[in-house]
């Protein structure tokens, strides 16, 4: 009986490894195994390729009618195979993704804006390779717009969104209540003199008004660039915290259409980011807590 028990455990581990495996020739991405694919826009078929030496850690534009897809694998996957989806601009300021890889997250990417190809890529990663059904998103500028577009169209397929000086469509703004209804935490990181900072205030108004959790970090005196933070721990901690968070069960006396609402302070907190050599202003539940 004891041998059968260990054989059962071994089989579970083996299935987990198979679920995380990817085919094709791997290359190196900041010390981690990278797998590249192309997807046909016409047939939506995905096939493995090898990134060229000239691309380095970056990615070349796809051939006409094709999409480039990338997944980077951690050395040891965290339980449940969590992953982060880069919304655009592969390998630009990748420090948060590198930190997440160290914590057991996979990292994925597909060229251009959300459409049916994103649906196919999601299914490929989740249903064929066993990654978590709820990816986190890191999106910079246009990538932030892409993250909100996907999120508002698939609110049940999002873990958290970290948007950095994000673009924003009117349609996504009007759909923020769907993300709030799923209690998806959002962290926006913005430069204080970036003109599109107004996008963050617009999102905050809708999200906060619908009981959603949104936190904001303003980098005082910076514009649209540079993106991210040199010390990525705030971003990685935010995403990892969202993944490890346990959802409380709804009390039986609440109606089926009950929507969780979050209450938190929006009073600013000022601090100095030593590694980035700048002052930051932050507020929201990630920094102050909520109930």
pLDDT in the model for residue 173: 98
Local structure of 153: helix, strand or coil: helix
Contact between 78 and 104 under an 8 Å Cβ cutoff? The reply is yes
In the block, which residue shows the tokens 């993250």? 147
pLDDT at 291: 87
Tokens representing 79?
């339980």
Q: Are 284 and 266 in contact (CB under 8 A)?
A: yes
pLDDT of residue 5: 42
Digit-coded pLDDT (tens) for 247-265: 777 778 878 777 789 999 8
H or E, element range at 270: strand 269-273
CATH of 67-246+260-288, one of 1.10.10.10, 3.40.640.10, 3.40.50.1820, 3.30.70.600: 3.40.50.1820
Contact 178, 210 (CB under 8 A): no
Q: Closest by alpha carbon to 120, among 188, 41, 197, 65?
A: 41
Strand partners of residue 39: 46, 67
Q: What stretches in the chain show pLDDT beneath 70?
A: 1-20
Place of tokens 């009986």: 1
Comparing C-alpha atoms, which of 127, 25, 114 is closest to residue 81? 127
Could you give the 3-state DSSP secondary structure of residue 267? coil
Q: How far is Cα of residue 52 from the mean position of the Cα atoms in its chain?
A: 26
Portion of the chain with pLDDT greater than 90, in percent: 84
What gap in Å lies between CA 29 and CA 43, rounded to an integer?
29
From CA 95, how far away is CA 232, in angstroms rounded? 6
- Per residue in 157-177, pLDDT tens? 999 999 999 999 999 999 999
Distance CA 144, CA 166 (A): 4
pLDDT for 278: 95
Per-residue model confidence (pLDDT) at position 20: 55
């Amino acid at each position: 009986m004891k041998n059968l028990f260990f054989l059962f455990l071994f089989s579970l581990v083996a299935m987990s490894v198979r679920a995380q495996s990817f085919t094709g020739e791997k290359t190196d991405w900041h010390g981690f195994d990278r797998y590249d694919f192309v997807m046909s826009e016409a047939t939506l078929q995905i096939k493995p390729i090898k990134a060229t030496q000239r691309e380095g850690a970056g990615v070349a534009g796809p051939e006409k009618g094709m999409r480039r897809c990338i997944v980077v694998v951690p050395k040891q996957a965290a339980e449940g195979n969590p992953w982060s989806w880069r919304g655009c601009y592969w390998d630009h300021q990748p420090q948060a993704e590198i930190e997440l890889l160290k914590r057991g997250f996979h990292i994925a990417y597909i060229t251009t804006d959300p459409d049916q190809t994103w649906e196919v890529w999601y299914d490929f990663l989740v249903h064929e390779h066993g990654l978590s059904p709820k990816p986190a998103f890191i999106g910079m500028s246009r990538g932030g717009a892409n993250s909100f577009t996907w999120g508002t169209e698939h609110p049940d397929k999002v873990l958290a969104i970290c948007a950095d000086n994000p673009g924003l469509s009117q349609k996504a703004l009007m759909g923020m209540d769907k993300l709030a209804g799923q209690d998806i935490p959002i962290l926006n990181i913005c430069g204080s003199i970036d003109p599109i900072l107004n996008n963050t205030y617009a999102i905050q108004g809708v999200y906060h008004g619908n009981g959603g959790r949104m936190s904001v970090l303003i980098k005082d005196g910076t514009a649209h660039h540079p993106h991210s933070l040199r010390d990525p721990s705030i971003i990685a901690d935010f995403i990892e915290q969202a993944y490890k968070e346990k959802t409380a069960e709804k009390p039986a006396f609440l109606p089926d259409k009950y929507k969780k609402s979050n209450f938190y302070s929006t009073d600013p907190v000022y601090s100095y980011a030593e590694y980035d050599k700048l002052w930051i202003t932050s507020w929201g539940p990630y920094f102050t807590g909520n109930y």
